[in-house]
Chain A
């Protein structure tokens, strides 16, 4: 808490310094001097140099301090006596909460014994941290105050800060991508130390449940991911697209070519609502309404072993969700076809539908294909619908009434429940995530290139 206090003190003190700089520059101006920069820029300059480095230091210091404190506590006799088991973090957390006053009494006696050490260590390290932060803030304020004056270009200084902020903001996307790749890669490598990558990528058997005893059958679990990827492709790229492509394309054609403007202005937002409905709602709809209907249909057709969790139910609902995607991408590419091509075809006597089929559609095809690829990438990454409606059995089947499982379902299954992060079971989720990331990455990049390249062709 005392670091929080240091932050507040620094902000208030530097704020005062900034307002002092402002009034000083204002005074100079009133005295008839021609200033390079407005007084507010001088104030901002002082504030930025005074507060920001100190606050950045505190931000870095806070996690370091937590680490130092823990080490100091563990170095005490009581700390060394703690057994190094999974129980230790819980005791430490409780002692820490007791020391900072978050809880008033500790359940564990070890925690009670450690609490005073925690209190002392936290006090010591936060004093050190606060002191360094005060020094940094003081130096920053001092040197920036010295520069404040008639000829000083405070605005340029402030703008350099803002520019730095802009660059950092634009780098967040890179850091996020990097974070995704690194965190997935790191855990995947750990996974591959336990499981052969060849088995993972080409194996046909998926049963990640580890046996309790080593001599039981299937004690190592099986991590062949092919059935998962087949299930993903079957639901996302086959069944969902059989629903979404015709409906989406024909909707786009009707809306761009036939519908009167008023109707179009109503129908388009309504279709877009389909994309805005949360996926958990689709999942519930699929599980509660569509899946039983599909099963009844299968039973009526004479399939005796129809499952209530079928690839068809999940795929159809996912297809409905994807319709507005396909239709708006198709809409864009049809709109990009020059009107002269449409007019030329009509002038030769072709009907509207012939023009669409023979002229507009072929011309818009690359854009439409790009849009469909994006839709596929979206469908194979979709989680909630398949978690709620597709089932858990890893089947290599082409029967849509059968239960299949997908990559995303398995990621959720593997990571909810037990919380050890060193078993092959939990690490497998990251390996699946990595493969999923790369597949969607390739699909996205290729689709974006196709769409962009095509758009430029007519401009």
Chain B
């Protein structure tokens, strides 16, 4: 049993060639496994990087537009507008009937020859209108100005256009000057049928109004509900049911909330379609459970000693909660709320069902007026056949992603800054 030879045999078992091969195999398997893990994380991060880079390269050019020089001789043109009449508020309506389009076309033909007719479109008219409102005296003289070209030429100049566009861009570069400038229109305009004239301002205002309605409803209801369930609710069947339905609502597909909004808010309560009010109500029902769950976790994390101390000096249960527990839990609740709001901000499916896919060409004026939101604007533009919309869609996506990243960064900052460990 304990003879020396057998001991030697045992030692040999650990040093024999077969054993070492096995150990080597095991270490190789270990390395392989670790590599798989690394590859999985790497692949996921690569997907994200590819997505972001893809959107950025597609959309970056959407923030810029191509402009070409043109000489407009107003005294010689058909435009008959008295500069003095442009001082008032109705300057734009006067100019819209003044035949600017024809004047631009004539000037383009003068500068670039017959083919130049196709160079400028509606966005040039809008740009010229803005210039004239700023400086009505331009109407009295011949001016050298830069005007945005049509979306086709714009794409060609950016290196992605059709043959006709390429020819026009070459023409413009040959006979005049052509340049790329920052596209302020994209930030200040609303939806339009022509990709050269579209902007995201209307959608941003719509998103803002919708998210305000969502927050005003979901935050108080969510927090109060979390307070009740965590601090006051008796343990019985009823509160079990509330708890189950909250957990389930947090995981219900968002499109179901769209169906609810359609059936209840539109068909039953006859609220206006496509309005931020209905969008906000629908998203609030969707976001509320997320806030409740975050709120309960934050309240649970407040140590009982704080409650006991407050109760000990004679505070009522209600005062304990609202004067001590809730303020301490607030950073955690806010983190959850911001994450829920970010999700609501990017949500599209439920809004699709309550009619927010409408074409809205001016920013909404209130929560009852027609509106669209940023994700919906992206969806609508992605459906457009015109190739000029591709870069606009990606540019709008960049704006949306920046908002999401900013909100998530704020949530992470709040969590790191205010998280307390007792």
Contact = CB atoms under 8 A, between A and B. Distances in A.
Contacts of B252: 180, 381, 437, 440-441, 444
Interface stretch (A50-58, A112-120, A410-418): A410-418
B34 A430 contact: no
A90 B260 CA distance: 24
Q: Is the interface of A mostly helix, strand, loop or mixed?
A: helix
Contacts of B348: 278-280, 383-384
A186 B263 CA distance: 10
A138 to B, nearest CB: 28
B29 interface: yes
Interface stretch (B75-83, B122-130, B217-225, B302-310): B217-225
Interface stretch (A123-131, A199-207, A301-309, A346-354): A346-354
B170 to A, nearest CB: 28
Contacts of B189: none
Interface in B51-69: 51, 54-55, 58
Contacts of B292: 173
A76 interface: no
A393 interface: no
Given A271-B44, A384-B349, A287 B382 contact: yes
A287 B47 CA distance: 16
Given A173-B289, A250-B39, A351-B30, A441 B248 contact: yes
A137 interface: no
Q: On chain B, which size bracket covers the interface? A: 35 or more
Interface in A159-183: 159, 162-163, 165-167, 169-174, 176-177, 179-180, 183
Contacts of B401: 277-278, 281
Interface string A268-301: 0111111011111111110111000000000000
Interface string B277-296: 00000000100110010000
Contact of A276 (B245, B288, B352, B404): B404
B253 A383 contact: yes
A147 to B, nearest CB: 19
B260 A180 contact: yes
Nearest to B347: A278
Contacts of B408: 272-273, 276
A269 to B, nearest CB: 6
Nearest to B32: A353
Nearest to B232: A166
Contacts of B245: 173-174, 176-177
Interface stretch (A21-29, A223-231, A252-260): A252-260
B255 interface: yes
Given A281-B397, A284-B382, A352-B30, A173 B352 contact: no
Contacts of B27: 351
Contacts, number: 257
B92 interface: no
Q: Is the interface of B mostly helix, strand, loop or mixed?
A: helix
A166 B225 contact: yes
B259 interface: yes
Interface residues of A, number: 90
A187 interface: yes
Interface string A326-341: 0100000000000000
Given A247-B44, A276-B408, A155 B254 contact: no
Contacts of B405: 273
A281 B228 CA distance: 37
Contact of A271 (B45, B54, B228, B255): B45
B233 interface: yes
Contacts of A162: 318, 322
Contact of A169 (B41, B228, B264): B228
Interface in A358-414: 374, 377-378, 380-384, 387-388, 408, 411-412
Nearest to B354: A415
A384 B267 CA distance: 24
A421 interface: yes
A177 to B, nearest CB: 4
A165 B224 contact: yes
Nearest to A273: B48
A39 interface: no
B36 interface: yes
B36 A411 contact: no
A63 interface: yes
B324 interface: no
Complex A-B, nearest 10 residue pairs according to Cβ-Cβ distance, in ascending order: A381-B253, A278-B346, A254-B37, A250-B40, A183-B263, A169-B224, A353-B33, A383-B349, A166-B228, A169-B225
Interface of A: 63, 155, 159, 162-163, 165-167, 169-174, 176-177, 179-180, 183-184, 186-187, 246-251, 253-255, 257-259, 267, 269-274, 276-285, 287-289, 320, 323-324, 327, 351-354, 356-357, 374, 377-378, 380-384, 387-388, 408, 411-412, 415-416, 421, 429-430, 433, 436-437, 440-441, 444-445, 448
Given A165-B224, A383-B348, A388-B379, 20 more contacts: A166-B224, A170-B228, A170-B229, A170-B239, A173-B289, A183-B264, A184-B263, A187-B263, A250-B37, A269-B412, A274-B48, A279-B346, A280-B376, A281-B400, A351-B26, A352-B34, A377-B251, A416-B357, A440-B253, A441-B248
18 contacts: A163-B232, A180-B259, A184-B259, A251-B41, A257-B37, A267-B45, A278-B346, A279-B347, A279-B349, A280-B375, A281-B51, A288-B382, A354-B26, A380-B253, A381-B254, A383-B349, A412-B255, A430-B263
